[in-house]
Amino acid sequence: MPPWRSTGTDAEAESPQYAGQYLLEGELGSGGMGVVHLARSASGLKLAVKVVHAELAQDPEFRGRFRQEVGAARKVSGAFTAPVVDADPEAGRPWMATLFIPGPTLAEHVKRNGALPVARLRQLMAGLAEALRDIHRAGVVHRDLKPSNVLLAEDGPKVIDFGISRPSDSELRTETGKLIGTPPFMAPEQFRRPRDVGPAADVFALGSVIVHAATGSGPFDSDSPYLVAYQVVHEEPDLTGVPDDLAPLVARCLAKEPEDRPTPDELMTELRSVSASYDTQAFIPEQRGWQDGPSEAPTHRRGVLAADGPVAGRGLRGVRRRGLRSVRRRGLEDVRQRGPGGVRRRWWVGVGAGAVVVALGAGGLALTGDEPAPAAAGPGRAGQDEGFRPWEAELSADGAGAAGMPRCVDAPDALYCTRPGLLAIAVDPVDGSVRWSRADTRAASGTDAGQSGDVVVEPPVLSGGLLHVVTDGGRRLEALDPATGDTNWIHDLTGYGGRIAHAGGVVLLTADDSTVTALDAATGERKWEGTVDGLTRPVFQSYGDGSAYAVGTEVIDGADGTLVTAVDPETGVTRWQQELTGTLTLVGARDGVLWFTSTAEAYSDTDAVVRYDVEGRAMRRIPLRYPVAGAQSVVADADRLYLIGADGALVAVDARESAQVWRVETSVSFPSAPVVDGARLYFSAGDGRVVAFDTARGELLGQTGARPGTARESVVSGLPEPVVSDGKVFAAAPDGVLFAVDGGEPERW
């Protein structure tokens, strides 16, 4: 048998040819734990073989977890799972072989074909209930049931991937303060009491899976992992689109308390009574072999750019210019997209396929690595005030959590912040003293806005010489004088559904009928109004380069594609429009270059970044060595981008080398978005720390002390990123404090 081989700097530089005696013929997929190969036994039997990543094979703790996965999979091997044929968890590269089951995953099927019809939905729910019954009878809790872990086979659904399951007699326990899973399919107790998760958590996940199969989206739907975690614990599920006869049963599965959920046996009994004509014929999906797996890397495709340059004059139909008082809201876009072609892109996927690891409390957030390296003198210290001293100021109630944390934007001579209960506040960046503050009168009068610290407030925006603040639960925009806090104008935001953006001195609002209205940020008057060719309800993004970008998904030659449109915010004219292959999310623009993150499918991790040169119309796809879950990004320049994952993976990608240049596992779960200033990168942790890394080498430089407040034992979601200005770093903590430190000396924090 040929030996395991791995050469070069990449742990997967040369893939193995065999696992045990099984010939590996092709790759079926890749995740955070390893690569799944199509293989054949000596008799020709088709197998699916998971081979652990080389770097993880050196981790004793991970080997213990993989042994647990093998044991759990063997325990439940039967009619509703992929039977285990062979395994060697003690090999140099541990592996496990299961019977190969042809057919797509539920995630793939819904993405390609849309929601399941009602009869098939009942069959799926009954099949999963039967599977959970057998899994639980074997003494195993799966803990990561989701659409990508359900195979649609000829004889019914099969549950796969027991990478984070836990047999009842297992000695390997979840660490104190940590939990593992996929947020939109996790039960509330997985966030609150991860060590006490039982079979009822799988029933909750089943309910979420059925909602996805029925609608194309989950019952807790947001592009933000922080909001999903909060929604799962505190809010009611959205069952819009679930068939009426199944909705009550699905709602019971999604009960917040485990004891209020039905058991798998009760589910099967109730499903039989839902309809007398219940069809037990197996759902036979379109067959798909491993050859039809992930397509080749995206390439630059046909576009609507003219051969001699951008298409002139395309854009808004019926442009009208007339005065009107204005309004705007920056906020969380949460437009539901249901049915065929309407599956929202997600960031999460489980361990065994890269599951999110959420750390709760200060004890579960320790960084790994060497002692902080001395900070380099030079660029990071430019402009630092000689007389500056670190300071802190209480701007919100203690224990308000992330929702009540101040969210700020910097200006040359002040910090401007918002938080629930305060419309805006101006803070002196030198000593933290308050120059002026405005109470949110709507909150004080008892309207929806500001009644609870759970309301997440977006930071203000400086545009047109004014400070723009959203208030009244996102229903109006107030433009304030930054010197005094006095209101200059107000505009009603009703009817725009959160589809609002700032671009230069213009506010862009998109109505439900796709009409775009541009407002002068200085006066609030309407500049133009119309629709953008080829776009339905566009949501614009701007990065200070003079264009507003709208990005939407589409199918290009039968494959997933992304339509990118650049609009002149001053006139509404479309500057250019281009189709790019792949499922892409725009994350930044610098010096004529757009950066995107790329995902393989819904609910998958970021597996690559894409650099698009606008002038040269050249697209370059840079694959990541391992996928990043819940990636947030910051673009440092036209050639360098940094990603940070929900599990704390910090990655640097360089376009000049067309490669990932380094990756560090910080162990900070659900961090804020990163911020780059010269040779340093900063982000905030859920316990109130600010963490600094060297951008050249990926080395930890320093971190501030923790200040979690009363949020110590809760999920801290939606962390505001630090603000870096003139060599100083400003950050908010869950205890309600805004504080400032010297960004040039993180080793002394």
Q: Catalytic residues, which ones? A: 144
CA angle, residues 445, 449, 451, in degrees to nearest 5: 70
Please give the C-alpha separations between residue 491 and each of 239, 324, 526, 527, in angstroms, as whole numbers.
33, 9, 11, 14
Q: Which residues pair with 593 in a beta bridge?
A: 590, 613
Report the sign of the C-alpha dihedral through residues 288, 290, 291, 293, in that order.
Answer: positive
The secondary structure of the chain in percent helix, strand, coil, rounded to multiples of 5, reads 20, 35, 50
Residue 7 CB partners (closer than 8 Å, separation 6+):
13, 14
Instruction: Map residue 160 onto helix, strand or coil.
Output: coil
Dihedrals phi, psi of 196, to nearest 5 degrees: -110, 20
- How far apart are the C-alpha atoms of 507 and 521, rounded to whole Å? 6
Q: Does residue 59 sit in helix, strand or coil?
A: coil
Encoded tokens for 111: 């993405």
Residue pair 191/228 in contact (Cβ under 8 Å)? The answer is no
The set of residues, in sequence order, having a beta carbon less than 8 Å from that of 713 and lying 6+ positions away, is: 360, 361
The whole-angstrom separation of Cα 69 and Cα 89 is: 9
Query: Rounded to an integer, what distance in angstroms lies between the CA atom of residue 363 and that of residue 348?
Result: 24
Bridge partner list, 526: 519
Tokens of 666: 């910080």
> How far apart, in Å, are the Cα atoms of 127 and each of 120, 131, 281, 604?
10, 6, 11, 24
Give the Cα separation of 270 and 263 in Å (integer): 11
What is d(CA 489, CA 485) in angstroms, rounded to the nearest whole number? Answer: 12
Give the residue from 625, 597, 631, 646 showing the smallest Cα distance to 35.
625
DSSP of 527-592? EEEEEETT-SS--EEE-SSS-EEEEEEEEETTEEEEEEEEE-TTT-BEEEEEEEESEEEEEEEETT
φ and ψ of 128, to 5 deg = -70, -35
- Scored b (16 or more CB within 10 A) or e, 347-380 reads bbbbbbbbbbbbbbbbebbebeeeebbebeeeeb
For the beta sheet containing 316-317, the strands, ordered from the edge strand earlier in sequence to the opposite edge, are 316-317, 526-532, 516-520, 506-510, 500-503
Using CA atoms, how far residue 475 sits from 50, 404, 520, 688, in Å, is: 50, 19, 19, 30
Report CA Rg, the chain: 26
